[in-house]
Structure 1
Amino acid sequence: MAEADPVIETATAEEVQVEQQEAAKPRRNWLRLIAMLSVPLVLMVAAGVYWLGLQGKVSTDNAYVQQDKVSVSSEVGGKIVEVLVEEGDMVEAGQLLFRIDPEPYQLQIAQANAAIAGAQANVIALSNSSDLTGVDISAAREDIAFAQARFNRVKALWDRGFSTKADYDAAEHAVAQARESLRQAEARQTEARARLATGSAVPGVNPQVAAAQADKATAELALRRTEVRAPVAGRVAQADRLQPGQQVVPNLPVLTLVAEQDAYVEANFKETDLAEMRPGQRARIEFDAYPGLEIMGHVQTIGAGTGSEFSVLPAQNATGNWVKVTQRVPVKIAIDEKSPRRMIAGLSTEVTVYTDDAKGKH
């Protein structure tokens, strides 16, 4: 009997192990079931949280930094003789950028001065001419009186028969010539007065003198424009043609000024994102060039047309193979904060506009 006890104990241990394994099976089944149900539930919760996070805001990465750019050109032509700025320099409004050879325009001023002097001398000569003073008119009137008196004497002799027909006709002809001389002298005086007259456009100034003065003013303006100054403050760019000796063509840009202090972002949003977007809504701006940098701004304006409407060749959809494409509308985002990093035109950004005011305040 003593030998049978260990066998009984062994059998009992195996039975206990089997019972434990059978008891663990339902527990593992429940754990498996819980895991199978929890994974979809977690995914659904995560999706719900993500979806709720997207509500009240719209985002786009089709956005770029924009800055006002002014193309600088010369209003007069000529050779560049001095350059005072280089690529990348910051300039203030009114600062001298470069000079054009002033000598041709200085010569034009000299010519204009000579023309003014000539016109003034002509005015003086006309003022002192016999045509204007009336000397010829007085002489013509005296000739008329003398011719008339002689005609009267000849006529008296003719009436008495003591003169010939030839003398009578000669005396009558002399009176007619004297009267014609008076008419011509009066016409010359009228013409001289007209040449000295001034019009309502330039009262008190002879037209010839005024024309010469206008030529001088034009030459002086051209001379002043040989000094090309910055119309606005900004950074010099595209100044590759700004070289001494380079010939400048009027109104052809030779450099560009970028107004960095007036930077903004042009974000191209899908048309489906515009339903709740309004000017004044807060916006967050992130920069690809400066990871971690976030700047707040606001919606300033929403474009008046899609990008395709202002393209050189607008899309023509009146065809049989038309495919609907979601359009992009440019939205101007004003920057409300001063950036610690330099704003460069064309930088890629990501813009998030908070259409829910409560979210935009955070």
Structure 2
Amino acid sequence: MRKPKRSVLLSLCALAALAGCARDSGPAPLLGTLEWDRIAVPAEVSEPIVQILVKEGDHVAADQLLLTLDPRRTQAQVDAAQADVLRLSAALDELRHGARIETIDASRAALVRTQATALNARLARDRAAEIRRKGLNSQSDLDNADAVLRQANADAKAAQANLDELLHGTRPEDLAQGEASLAQAQATLAQLQVTLQRLSVRAPRAGRVDTLPFKLGDRPAAGASVVSLLVGDAPYARVFVPEPVRASLQQGARFNVRVDGVAQAFSATAVRIASEATFTPYYALSGDDASRLAWRAELELDAPAARDLPAGIPCQATLLVGKSVADK
């Protein structure tokens, strides 16, 4: 009775060994997940969301309006910047055109008035000095007359300088300062106009709406992602290449990719292979430990049916030995 049992056990062991050999005859599949390229569209400023025009899962075209942030505050800043540009532009035109003839005539009249005042002050000072020599007034009276004369002369010199400035025109340095101020105001206006446009959040490229993390009325922080888009023609398989396979795997290698829950197998091409190990730095391993290294690789799926697959599904990629992109 024992011999038949022993033969059965030996047969089962032989079958198991053969099955193991059959499994080991081909390359082991590379494990990973399906992924899409993602684009995060940020909020330009922190303003409440006043309009949402898409839903998660919607396909959108490039430059399509997705949602709108409240533009009133930024619009007011744009209006103020536009007024500042107009003010500085008018000031620069005034500098370029020089003084009006009426302003020059008024300056000449002011000079004549101050010169007449200075002449009267000189005559009064001379009379005070003559009277002082006769001893008929005090020294303080003469000092007061001297002070009035000095002030009148200073006023006349200031009026003369003001007239000369008007007659000589605007200095080049003043023009340069005016032009620089206007350019700065125009740059500020352009920046605010860009910010105002981006309050209408648009798709930077065609894709599918993945997530809308905020709801109507929410006020996201400046720079926070308000829309996440999945972009590209199809998802790709992100798999991890073990160390024994890495040396023989090159870009352009062909794979069969099986996705969990999908009966159809997809053809794929290796388009990117990381240059550095993903899990452990290469310099930290030596000898037998080097077999624990893994490199991230991305396999581009060929079938159009892959366009509808979501991200994150586990998948297995089997290398087609001897096949490359040139054999397609």
The 1:308–1:190 alpha-carbon spacing in structure 2 relative to 1, beyond 3 Å, is farther
Match of 1:106 in 2: 75
Match of 2:57 in 1: 88
Q: Which moved more, 1:93-102 or 1:324-333?
A: 324-333
Percent identity at matched positions?
21
The 1:300–1:222 alpha-carbon spacing in structure 2 relative to 1, beyond 3 Å, is closer
Q: Distance in 1 between matches of 2:203 and 2:118?
A: 78
Q: Are the counterparts in 2 of residues 131 and 189 from structure 1 also a CA contact under 8 Å?
A: no
Q: Letter of the aligned partner of 1:332 in structure 2?
A: E
- Deviations along 1:290-318, whole A, 9 cap, x unmatched? 12x222222222212222258xxx99789
- Deviations along 1:34-75, whole A, 9 cap, x unmatched? xxxx99999988877766x42xxx443422111100112210
Match of 1:266 in 2: 238
Secondary structure of 2:304's counterpart equals coil
Q: Distance in 2 between matches of 1:146 and 1:324?
A: 101
Match of 1:199 in 2: 176
- Deviations along 1:204-252, whole A, 9 cap, x unmatched? x7x3x555555544443332222111112111122142x2222232211
Secondary structure of 2:318's counterpart equals strand
Match of 2:154 in 1: 180
Q: Letter of the aligned partner of 2:175 in structure 1?
A: T
Q: Letter of the aligned partner of 2:194 in structure 1?
A: L
Which of these residues, 236, 257, 260, is aligned with residue 285 of structure 1? 257
Match of 1:65 in 2: 34
Q: Are the counterparts in 1 of residues 268 and 299 from structure 2 also a CA contact under 8 Å?
A: yes
Q: Distance in 2 between matches of 1:42 and 1:116?
A: 88
Secondary structure of 2:249's counterpart equals coil
- Cα drift, residue 270 of structure 1: 0.7
- Cα drift, residue 106 of structure 1: 2.8
Choose 1 or 2 for highest CA Rg.
1
Match of 2:270 in 1: 299
Q: Distance in 1 between matches of 2:192 and 2:16?
A: 80
Q: Are the counterparts in 1 of residues 257 and 265 from structure 2 also a CA contact under 8 Å?
A: yes
Match of 2:319 in 1: 353
List alignment gaps of at least 5 residues for structure 1.
1-37
Q: Are the counterparts in 2 of residues 141 and 178 from structure 1 also a CA contact under 8 Å?
A: no
Q: Distance in 2 between matches of 1:221 and 1:168?
A: 70
- Deviations along 1:262-313, whole A, 9 cap, x unmatched? 422111011111121111222221222212x222222222212222258xxx
Q: Distance in 2 between matches of 1:339 and 1:141?
A: 94
With normalisation by structure 2, the TM-score equals: 0.69
Which of these residues, 198, 209, 214, is aligned with residue 236 of structure 1? 209
Q: Are the counterparts in 1 of residues 234 and 306 from structure 2 also a CA contact under 8 Å?
A: no
Q: Letter of the aligned partner of 1:60 in structure 2?
A: P
- Deviations along 1:5-36, whole A, 9 cap, x unmatched? xxxxxxxxxxxxxxxxxxxxxxxxxxxxxxxx
Alpha-carbon RMSD: 5.0
The 1:286–1:125 alpha-carbon spacing in structure 2 relative to 1, beyond 3 Å, is closer
Match of 2:6 in 1: none
Q: Are the counterparts in 2 of residues 101 and 226 from structure 1 also a CA contact under 8 Å?
A: yes
Secondary structure of 2:176's counterpart equals coil
Q: Letter of the aligned partner of 1:252 in structure 2?
A: A
- Residue 302 of structure 2 is aligned to residue 332 of structure 1: no
Q: Are the counterparts in 2 of residues 60 and 269 from structure 1 also a CA contact under 8 Å?
A: no
Secondary structure of 2:279's counterpart equals helix
- Cα drift, residue 338 of structure 1: 2.6
List alignment gaps of at least 5 residues for structure 2.
1-10, 134-138
Q: 1:135-146 to 2 correspondence within 5 Å?
A: 135-136=106-107, 139-140=110-111, 143-144=114-115
Q: Distance in 1 between matches of 2:22 and 2:186?
A: 80
